[in-house]
Amino acid sequence: MLSTQGKRVLTLQMRRLLKSHNDKSRNNKYRCNMSDQDLSPRKQQILYQAVEDYIESASPITSGAMVSKTDSQLSSATLRNELSALEQMGYLKQLHTSGGRVPTTKGYRYFVNALQNNCNIDLEGLGKIKSVFERRTMNLSELLKVVADKISEVTDYPTVISFGGVDRLEILNIKIIPLMTCQALMLIQTPHGLLNNTLETEQVIDEQSCIDASKVLTNKFKGMKIGSMAENIRTGHAEILQELNEYAVFFEMVLNSLVDLTKRYAQTSSIYSKGATKLLKNPEYDNVEKARDVLELLEDKEKLKDIIDDDSASAEIEFKIGDELCNEKLCDCTIAKAHCKVNGENIASVGIIGPKRMDYAKISSALKFIVDEFNKADLIDSSPPTEKGK
């Protein structure tokens, strides 16, 4: 949860925001920009505090428990009336007739929108994640797996990484470098690093053959996306062989290797999850059936990929809460997502799964940090995948 200092900053920010709202509302020049315009500033403050308290304590919201945490001029009776009004408006619900209230999906949505629009809270423990990006020797797939481990450790929720967008990277250059007697290294340069493959042949690979093949391949495929090259490489096969007729046998081997390399990259779509059992720490999953539903999802790579890879939202960080997931088995869950991009192309997605009562401030901070760090990284997988999903 938030540190004491973080909560103090957040409370001050909310009070300033609500005071500004009140002042401007009196002059009829201001309308609420956080979620629902029918909420008065007092209802906004009470709802925000109620959701925050429930996230921290997992205890139903009561007027008595909130008296000391809101405007001191509000009595328990006034708070009780306001909570009742918020329930009628659909932001809260009562689990039992005589019990306290808990937030609904609408209530959590209000809280998340207010948090993202008006707060910028630093996350304690970001150093653990930042240190991963400083390891320049790691390739991208390794980097993402370690990042997933660290996010799960810092947030204490299951984390999922979906990686499968290398096919969208642009080709800048293709180079063949002779190594040992019957080996050569093929490099495909992209704006964010190199893809490589080792060529094996029964004949000696001389330097001039490599230089000529590199030149022809670069001229042919420069500016094309990896995926497009994989699809179209055979189209110009005869034409390329004409240009390199003298080295036809060698080039046929190069071309076959290039086809294999690009297709494996273009078709690769791996998904990695970490920390599934962390869900069981939350009281929401004391119920075995509820826990089983979410744990089964974390084991189903195809369904998980469909949920995490969906990039229809325009927001940098996206939260889908409860009913918004359109999945009965996930109605008590929230999934937070961020998309990692290279030159505007999404090549990996990060997702965090937890109960609706998750620590939204911490998760939002962690995902924003990941996106920013990823955008600064200059890494790409330095060794091709061996099979799909690995």
**Are the C-beta atoms of 150 and 132 separated by less than 8 Å?**
yes
Task: Choose the weakest-confidence range: 264-278, 332-346, 351-365.
Answer: 264-278
Q: Say which residue, 165 or 39, is predicted with more confidence.
A: 39
Instruction: Tell me the pLDDT band of 384, cut-offs 50, 70 and 90.
Output: very low
Q: Which amino acid is at 151?
A: I
* pLDDT tens by residue, 307-329: 887 766 567 789 999 999 888 88
**Are the C-beta atoms of 251 and 181 separated by less than 8 Å?**
no
Q: Is the pTM of this model over 0.95?
A: no
Instruction: Tell me the pLDDT band of 34, cut-offs 50, 70 and 90.
Output: very low
Estimate the crossing angle of helix 105-118 against helix 4-26, to 10 degrees: 90
**Are the C-beta atoms of 97 and 60 separated by less than 8 Å?**
no
Model confidence at 383: pLDDT above 60: no
Model confidence at 172: pLDDT above 50: yes
* pLDDT score of 253: 74
CB atoms within 10 A of CB 23: 12
Q: How many helices (H) and strands (E) does the chain have?
A: 14, 10
Distance CA 87, CA 84 (A): 5
| Mean pLDDT calculated for residue range 186-193 | 76
Tokens of 71: 């405007």
Contacts of 75-79 spanning 24+ positions with Cβ under 8 A: 79/46
Q: What is the mean pLDDT of the chain?
A: 76
CB atoms within 10 A of CB 3: 13
DSSP character string of 38-54: TS-HHHHHHHHHHHHHH
